[in-house]
Structure 1
């Protein structure tokens, strides 16, 4: 279930990235507000996914090897970078760029990798 929640957070983080990119192109301050809210929504879904994944990995004996922990670590890094991104977006619109855009790219990449690895593991478990 945690892989599904992490995958559900990905469109929100992607929306934050696209909003940051739109702000970088147009300098319309509302885009940073959109990015801030989308990032917060992504963190709201990724946080419970991280907690659920940790509980799942601690309970399952078969999951105590490499790939499961790597996906969980990538999700943890994505949540940490996403939180830092939220702090950056709390600043003024001019002060949030270009670091907000760079952090948004990093969050999308980390959460996407964690989601793909988690969903592959889930698919192997059900097959």
Structure 2
């Protein structure tokens, strides 16, 4: 956090954190689209695509969550404020993504409709996390 004449300038994400956050942002919506395609066609390969996209999204989500948790601890030690809502959204996204991966590990026919709902939820949470994470510099007035 930088203080500039009565204002607080919030930092953006570290570039590696931003790259890790891009994984769930791109792969969870891809899994949702694959689930929709499976729902419409019942071709098993769409379920396989969803499974792989969820795993890829979870790899990035795990890295982004760990990075955010370390940042939260370091900010707390330095007396800075860290948006806890961002870490909370990442945590809920990770938990639902993990459950979604377990659901997609079942037979393709058995993944519906739970897999579709979980993919939609993780996609929404990935969009919210990316919105919070990529929001950029914000200047706030100090009272």
| Structure-2-length-normalised TM-score | 0.79
Q: Could you tell me which of 58, 73, 76 is aligned with 2:91? A: 76
For 2:84 and 2:34, the matched residues in 1 are separated by 31
Tell me which stretches of 4 or more aligned residues in structure 1 moved more than 6 Å. none
For 1:94 and 1:8, the matched residues in 2 are separated by 27
The change in CA–CA distance for 1:5 and 1:123 in structure 2 (over 3 A counts) is farther
Taking the TM superposition and a 5 Å limit, the aligned residue runs for 1:1-127 are 1=14, 2-60=17-75, 61-64=79-82, 68-120=83-135, 122-124=136-138
Note the residue ranges of structure 2 that are not aligned, 5 or more in a row: 1-13
Q: Is the 8 A contact 1:54 1:72 kept in 2?
A: yes
Q: Give the helix-richer structure, 1 or 2.
A: 1
SS of the residue corresponding to residue 137 of structure 2 reads helix
Q: Give the strand-richer structure, 1 or 2.
A: 2
SS of the residue corresponding to residue 106 of structure 2 reads coil
For 2:44 and 2:129, the matched residues in 1 are separated by 31
In angstroms, what is the RMSD of aligned CA positions?
Answer: 1.4
